[in-house]
Amino acid sequence: MTYRGRFAPSPTGPLHLGSLVAATFSYLQARKAQGQWLLRIEDLDLPRTVPGSADHIQRTLEAFGLTWDEPIIFQSQRTEAYEQALQFLIDQQQSYPCSCTRSELQALQRSDLRDHDELRYPGLCRHGPMHAQGPFAWRFRVPAQPICFTDALQGMQCLNLADSIGDFVIKRRDGWFAYQLAVVVDDAAQGITEVVRGIDLLSNTPRQIALQHALHLPTPTYLHLPVVTDATGHKLSKSTAATSVDNTRTGPTLWHVLSLLLQCPPPALQTATLNTLWQWAIEHWNPNALRQIRQIVHRDDNTEGKSTN
């Protein structure tokens, strides 16, 4: 089977270094396997979309020579496919309407849970909505048995969805489809064979595998990358000073990204052309260098990177 990988950014700001690291890893996996690399813009959640950032992301990828092989998919144009998937799940009694409001659910939250802990949905609407009046969200009826998979870098993972998060939302009360459903429908539509993304999304994978089973869709392999942090250990994100990637220093930046990925490019290549760098990177590509690594540490001077385990 031909390898098909993808990069699926949400256009909520310009591309930052952490995303460039993920894109580069996924691109090299595809190129090394002589497969295809696709781009999907996850502009599903229009209220969170920042105008201009989808363009900026595309221009940045192009500037770095990260070229995709097929037309871009925009999630904002895929509502019909998500509707069909939802309808299939409803027909199979795998999805049900839920009238619970966020504040009702928060009131049930145990006081010992910390803010970032996800509330397990207690199934209040499982046998019919609590309130006759909408608006309704649509929840996915999770399986009782654990979902297990082997992550290519992080090893074996198992999660019992029923015990941990419960039936989760696949279409929100405000009418937007949830990331979990959209990503599953789109990975299948694009024939993705391996999903490469940041470790912050690892806990979503069992939900996505459960949805694939329910929708009779194939499960790709998964590879979750260690988080990229600044020197103080904070995750690089759009909200930190991590900032957007400089399109004018592509060669040295790509060299730096390859160093962060522990590919050890020779110092002489710091001034090489992008083409030479990509050729070197594909030839020497070693994804296993990141096994057992917890954090990829980026230092601001943009010359040295180091990873910790």
- Burial class, 26, CB count within 10 angstroms (exposed 0-12 / middle 13-18 / buried 19+): buried
Longest CA pairwise span in the chain (Å): 68
Q: How many CB atoms lie within 10 A of CB 106?
A: 9
Alpha helices, H only, the chain:
17-32, 53-63, 79-91, 102-108, 161-164, 179-189, 205-214, 250-260, 274-284
Which residue's CB is nearer to ligand GLU, number 29 or number 259? Answer: 29
Which residue's CB is nearer to ligand GLU, number 110 or number 116? Answer: 116
Q: List interacting residues with ligand GLU (CB under 6 A).
A: 8-10, 42, 183, 197, 201
Q: Determine the Cα angle at 179 with ends 176 and 182, to 5°.
A: 85
Query: From the CB of 292, what's the least distance to ligand GLU, in Å?
Result: 22
Reference 29, options 276, 239, 281, 307; nearest CA is 281
Length of the chain, please? Answer: 309
Q: How many CB atoms lie within 10 A of CB 154?
A: 19
Which residue's CB is nearer to ligand GLU, number 53 or number 99? Answer: 53
Cβ neighbors of 265 (< 8 A, separation 6 or more) are 255, 258, 259, 277, 280, 281, 284
Query: From the CB of 9, what's the least distance to ligand GLU, in Å?
Result: 5
Which residue's CB is nearer to ligand GLU, number 98 or number 223? Answer: 223
Query: From the CB of 48, what's the least distance to ligand GLU, in Å?
Result: 11
Query: From the CB of 129, what's the least distance to ligand GLU, in Å?
Result: 30
Which residue's CB is nearer to ligand GLU, number 78 or number 197? Answer: 197
Query: From the CB of 64, what's the least distance to ligand GLU, in Å?
Result: 17
Query: From the CB of 26, what's the least distance to ligand GLU, in Å?
Result: 9
Q: Give how far the C-alpha of residue 200 lies from the chain's centroid of Cα atoms, to the nearest Å.
A: 8
Query: From the CB of 21, what's the least distance to ligand GLU, in Å?
Result: 13
Query: From the CB of 120, what's the least distance to ligand GLU, in Å?
Result: 23
Asked whether 41 and 11 are in contact (CB, 8 A), the reply is: yes
Rounded to 10 degrees, what is the CA torsion of 275, 277, 282, 286? -170
Which residue's CB is nearer to ligand GLU, number 42 or number 167? Answer: 42
Which residue's CB is nearer to ligand GLU, number 197 or number 207? Answer: 197
Mark residue 209 as left, alpha or beta (left: phi above 0; alpha: psi -120 to 50; beta: remaining).
alpha
Which residue's CB is nearer to ligand GLU, number 74 or number 136? Answer: 74
